[in-house]
Amino acid sequence: MDLGFLGRYFWNWWAVPYFLSFFVGLIITLLLLSKKRDDKQVQLYIVTQFFLALLSLAAALSSSSLDSSNWLVWSAINITSSLFATTTLFHFSFYLLKGDNSFWGTKKLLVIYIIPLFFSLIWIINPHIIYPDIIKIDLALFGIFWSQSTPTSAFLLLTFYTYLGVMVFLAIQNFYRMFRQTEDLELRRRAAYFVLSSLVPGIALTITLGIQLLVENYAPKLEMAIVSLSIAGAIIAYGIFKDQLFDLDVIVSKSVKYALLNIVLAWVFVISRELLIPIVSSTFFSGNELAFILAGFVVVTVFGRSRMPCIILSPWR
């Protein structure tokens, strides 16, 4: 499919989870913009959701790119949107914890935006500094292209992942402190939603890294942390609808609750199958077939234990 200046794309099934994560993030962004755009307490979280949606879209389109130059553009958006999303998430958590009345809180906090701006500047000056030699490879994480490493690109990518980890960890810490310090039941419930939604991508990434360490030549075709953003988004959406997370007066029917549950169960299946393929590939069954069956058992187990969507999405109750 040729879209002119947007480059050429192919239909890649691995991009579907990224597209779903994009739509979940986009719906939450639009909902908050329509209802709470003037609320300073929510504005930073709207920005966070926008960058998370953009991150998922960039992952989907880079996975479907047929041109290396086009893949490079979406990879650049992938990295910068990841940095800004985690930075604004931490900023939002700091804002909630401290209860500052101003939008930016303390001006000293703005120093955290140096890294996202630095990477944005790199992409503007020379994007090949991070991805110096793009090659076509079947085992690439995002589509059919990847880049060979140099000392400079390796250092920059290490800085990128370290910064992401630090920002997510600090955000979770702030949400947890907010949960522990307040005696207000409503505020504790709100903090619990944020803690859980922030933990989901971290847990998915940790599982993937663990499988990579245990299984030789494991080459995943999905970035689990990005895929799990739809689950994190479903948790926030459920909080908005069910417990008026941002004080939105929205009445939700059972169909919406079960739609959110289906998102969770769909990604339980996708993630389970992806992680099980390298483990069961050595059996007398086809690795894909057996992983498909086992992933189905995982979904049935989760659904059987959940019974109701609120049990999965609100485990702190």
What is the predicted pLDDT for the residue at 315?
39
What is the predicted pLDDT for the residue at 294?
62
Token representation of residue 61: 């389109």
Token representation of residue 47: 């920005």
Contact between residue 80 and residue 52 where contact means Cβ atoms under 8 Å apart: no
pTM, to two decimals: 0.74
Spatial separation of the C-alpha atoms in residues 153 and 126, rounded to whole Å: 12
Token representation of residue 96: 């909630």
Token representation of residue 160: 């990128």
3-state DSSP percent of the chain in helix, strand and coil, to 5: 75, 5, 20
What is the predicted pLDDT for the residue at 82?
92
What is the predicted pLDDT for the residue at 16?
85
CATH number of the domain at 4-228+243-252, please? 1.20.1070
Spatial separation of the C-alpha atoms in residues 238 and 262, rounded to whole Å: 12
What is the predicted pLDDT for the residue at 106?
59
What is the predicted pLDDT for the residue at 182?
73
- Helix axis angle, 68-98 to 151-181, nearest 10°: 30
The four Cα atoms 209, 18, 201, 287 give a dihedral, to 10 degrees, of: -40
What is the predicted pLDDT for the residue at 56?
92
Q: Indicate where the chain has its CATH 1.20.1070 domain(s).
A: 4-228+243-252
- Residues of the chain where predicted confidence (pLDDT) is lower than 70: 1-7, 99-108, 209, 212-213, 215-219, 243-244, 247-317
